[in-house]
Amino acid sequence: MPSSPRRSDESISAREGLYQTTDKRNQPGSSVHSFTSATALLSGNGENVRLRKGTYIGLPDEALTPSSYQSNRNPSVDQMSIRTLDRKMSQRIHLDANSSVMAARKASWMDSEHRVILNVGGVRHETYQHVLKKIPATRLSRLTPNLANYDPVLNEYFFDRHPGVFAMILNYYRTGKLHYPVDVCGPLFEDELEFWGLDSNQVEPCCWMTYTQHRDTQETLAVIESLDNDIDPQTAEEVAKKFGWEDDYFNGSLSWWQRIKPQVWQMFDEPWSSRYARVVSITSIFFIILSIVCFCLKTEPRMRVPDLNIRPMDLSNKSGNIPYHDTGQHDISARHTGHYSRGSSFSVEKIKTRAHPHFFYLELIANIWFTWEILMRLIFSPNAVHFIKSPINIIDFIATASFYADWFLEWYLDGNHRDTIEFFNIVRIFRLFKLTQHSSGLNILIETFKASARELLLLMFFVLLGTVMFASLMYYAERVGNNPDNQFESIPLGLWHSLICITTVGFGDMVPHTYYGMVVGSFCALMGVLTIALPVPVIVSNFAMFYSHAKAR
């Protein structure tokens, strides 16, 4: 078969790539030559094809060294044999090249059959079907050409989603590790995972802390939003929804009571809803401060008067002593300095005092206001049960009731029981928490403590543990040896010293006198510094977070 020009070129290219052996068997007159195939450039398709090393036309396969074919060929070899050899080698090269090209095309065709092109937000991603099958029951594992987002012309699937997040998701299919991109907001990342059918709990531990920060931020924003709702005036529709009268509001069938009740409620419960609400708020703050000031000034000695309400008694008796009668209201005891006679002197050992009567009238006015305020808020409340369960309202009710209880029981109890009643009046000081209804800053402080509840409980646990442990150690350490100045007579007394030492206060009323006790006290102080220093940054961080978000809003 005559060879074509292309095949001639291939033959020439192949012949130029041949190497002649240096073996001494290639003597003149010998008809046997060993050739091996090298890399031949096929001029037809421009591809480099590596030809197999082998034996052609019965020639042995052996090591060859490169040399010029023209300069080293044996002139005694028949030229016909050379041409025959070139023709057969050209045919063999052509067959090998065709088989290699077909294998490459077949591999490329099989690869294209299993390759998947994903166009996400205008960014093309390529992968294989078996990669997407690694995570079953997901959107990518169920891709078929029958889907509406498949483009048969471009042979790709189009999804109008975030391309940056999808790069992380596709990498999760490849490596089995889901990482969180720091340039994407947390809620957006969660939405993308939900769309592709993935679980957000599969985020790697290295990215988990960064990923979960948005949840704390969302909780903070929810708290700040609730505070803003308490400050910002509500619309008529929101008020009707709060009272459960949406249908009547939209139908325009509200009664006069349904119109008045929300207005009165807002006037007493929402300080910034109207001008009248501000007046009520300022009045309430004034009486709260007045009540606290009176409660504190009543204990000042210069603000108290002697309680000398003594009933008249018959002093004529035969014993010669001065009789006295304790009415229960007063703690007065008189002692006769001699026998009774007219003009005799006696000394009063103790005189009980009471608050100036003016404080009673001031507190009476304040508590009348508090009583009226409680009744108005209870009557016009949208939910009476919720109102009664409120901690602030419970404190306000108990503080107001304690004033009336003290007033009525004063006439029926003796002095000792009156001290007990006055002790329960301490609840009036908690009226200060009512100021949180009028100040967003105080609300932020309270929410900070709520957010730091776990850290505060952990702090209290470590303080309690250290107090008990070091009190016991201090008790036994001070008992070692001769220590006549031992102040730690029991473990309960040591609890006081340990608590003061752990909190780094150090009153100095109780100190160890032995070396063992000093060592225990030193470790107690060190533990106090470490224990208290750990949760403080968390609390400060929470307050800064609440304050910054509140300021931004």
Mean pLDDT, rounded, for 281-285: 91
- pLDDT, residue 81, reads 61
* Bridge partner residues of 348 (DSSP): 334
- pLDDT, residue 421, reads 67
Task: Give domain limits for the chain.
Answer: 5-108, 121-203, 234-307+352-438, 453-534
Q: Which of 59-73, 239-253, 260-274, 491-505 has the highest mean pLDDT?
A: 491-505
- pLDDT, residue 85, reads 59
d(CA 211, CA 180) in angstroms, rounded, equals 7
CATH code for the part of the protein at 234-307+352-438: 1.20.120.350
Please return the burial class of 40, using the count of CB atoms within 10 Å of its CB with bins 0-12, 13-18 and 19+: buried
Is residue 221 pLDDT above 80, yes or no?
A: no
Superfamily (CATH) of domain 121-203: Potassium Channel Kv1.1; Chain A (3.30.710.10)
Mean pLDDT, rounded, for 184-213: 91
Please name the fold of domain 453-534.
Helix Hairpins (1.10.287)
Element (H, E) at 237: helix 236-243
- pLDDT, residue 256, reads 83
Q: Which two tokens stand for residue 380?
A: 């016009």
Tens digits of residue pLDDT in 115-137: 899 999 999 999 998 999 999 99
Q: How confident is the model at residue 473 (pLDDT cuts 50, 70, 90)?
A: very high
The number of beta carbons lying within 10 Å of the beta carbon of residue 250 is 10
Report helix, strand and coil shares of the chain as percent, to nearest 5: 60, 5, 35
Residue 335 φ/ψ region, left for φ over 0, alpha for ψ in the -120 to 50 degree band, beta for the rest: beta
